[in-house]
Amino acid sequence: MASKKTATPVAEICLYGNRSTGAGWLAIHSLGARLLGDGEPVAGRSFTEATWIAARALTEAGWSGAVAIYEPGGERMAICDLASVPSYGSLPWQPAAHYEVSEAAIVAAAAGVSLP
């Protein structure tokens, strides 16, 4: 059986909050369109609700295709289609990529200098 190739995400959804504070979200299209959402957790809102609200906002903004969804801790991410986002617990979670940037690289970039 052929393996299913994962589509390249056209947008990202970042989830915020926890069970006590509720869930919030931010979303952005990969083309750098305006940021959607405010990231503020809403009491009583589940991560499934926040995920679906964010997906709907991206769809209503005219976007379609795959979306990368990041859990609040940033340790895991899932890629799925904006047209059929499953519940939070049913997302196809995988480890999220992590990048390490040194303080020197940040200072150099802010000054417009390239590091070797």
**SS3 per-residue string spanning 45-57:** CCHHHHHHHHHHH
Among 25-29, 31-35, 93-97, which is the least confidently predicted range? 31-35
Average pLDDT for 38-50: 96
- Find the mean pLDDT for residues 48-63: 95
Mean pLDDT, rounded, of the chain: 89
Instruction: Please state the rounded mean pLDDT for residues 12-41.
Output: 91
Whole-angstrom Cα distance, residue 38 to residue 42?
A: 10
Give the pairing of strands 66-70 and 93-95: unpaired
| pLDDT value of position 110 | 84
Is 28 in contact with 35 (CB distance < 8 Å)?
Answer: yes
Between 31 and 61, the more confident residue is 61
Which pLDDT band holds residue 115 (cuts at 50, 70, 90)?
low
